[in-house]
Chain A
Amino acid sequence: GNSVTQMEGPVTLSEEAFLTINCTYTATGYPSLFWYVQYPGEGLQLLLKATKADDKGSNKGFEATYRKETTSFHLEKGSVQVSDSAVYFCALRAQKGYSTLTFGKGTMLLVSP
């Protein structure tokens, strides 16, 4: 079946450090890939997405590249801020149309001043 594996957290960084959160997936066919972010006390919101191999999604300084050869979609940011402290979820949609999202377990990021 479909699955998403993320690195365990928490990831603890100082402000302006480089961030990588690893995400790998298992799926048949050509899934779409997503990163969602959950700020404290809130619901999840879409951060970025990629729908085909080699696509790069980007938003708010975050980037992730859809790597089909390594079945990965790692999240990166060059310089994190305290306001980036949140839980980050990698997710996949196995096929277009009416299908559901499968989420990873989430990775908590804590950024200190």
Chain B
Amino acid sequence: DADVTQTPRNRITKTGKRIMLECSQTKGHDRMYWYRQDPGLGLRLIYYSFDVKDINKGEISDGYSVSRQAQAKFSLSLESAIPNQTALYFCATSGGNTGELFFGEGSRLTVL
């Protein structure tokens, strides 16, 4: 099993629908992140959490919300999806002081 698991892996939805992407990890890391990948734009940070009680906005948090349900779980919600939120979403974790991020395999979201 993967250390960082994202569900669903693929999702097609319609404009205005609420969507939740879930992430769970077995690495025991305290820090978790949500990134969005778009062609030509690289990875952009949406939200991050350094601890269960800590939530921080990234550079593109508008239209998104998150919940850190436990140290191992970090979910991303789109309250009312719009087409320009069509993208590949990655969850990542980190621990210790190496700075290394460990990524899930991604969740591809299409908003029609």
Query: Which A residues have a C-beta under 8 Å from some C-beta of B?
Result: 32, 34, 36, 41-46, 49, 51, 89, 93, 96-101, 103-106
Complex Cα distance, B41 from A81, in Å, reads: 26
In the assembled complex, 8 residue pairs joining A and B whose CB atoms fall closer than 8 Å, in A order, are A32-B99, A43-B103, A44-B43, A97-B97, A100-B48, A103-B44, A105-B41, A106-B43
Residues of B in contact with A, size category: 20 to 34
| Contact A43-B42, Cβ < 8 Å, known A98-B31, A98-B50 | no
B86-112 Cβ-contact flags toward A at 8 Å (1 or 0)? 000010100001111101111000000
Cross-chain pair count, CB within 8 angstroms = 51
Q: Which residue of B lies closest to A34 (CB)?
A: B99
Cβ-defined contact, B105 with A43, below 8 A = yes
Query: Is B58 interfacial (CB 8 A cutoff)?
Result: yes
Complex Cα distance, B43 from A43, in Å, reads: 11
Query: Which B residues have a C-beta under 8 Å from some C-beta of A?
Result: 4, 31, 33, 35, 40-45, 48, 50, 58, 90, 92, 97-101, 103-106
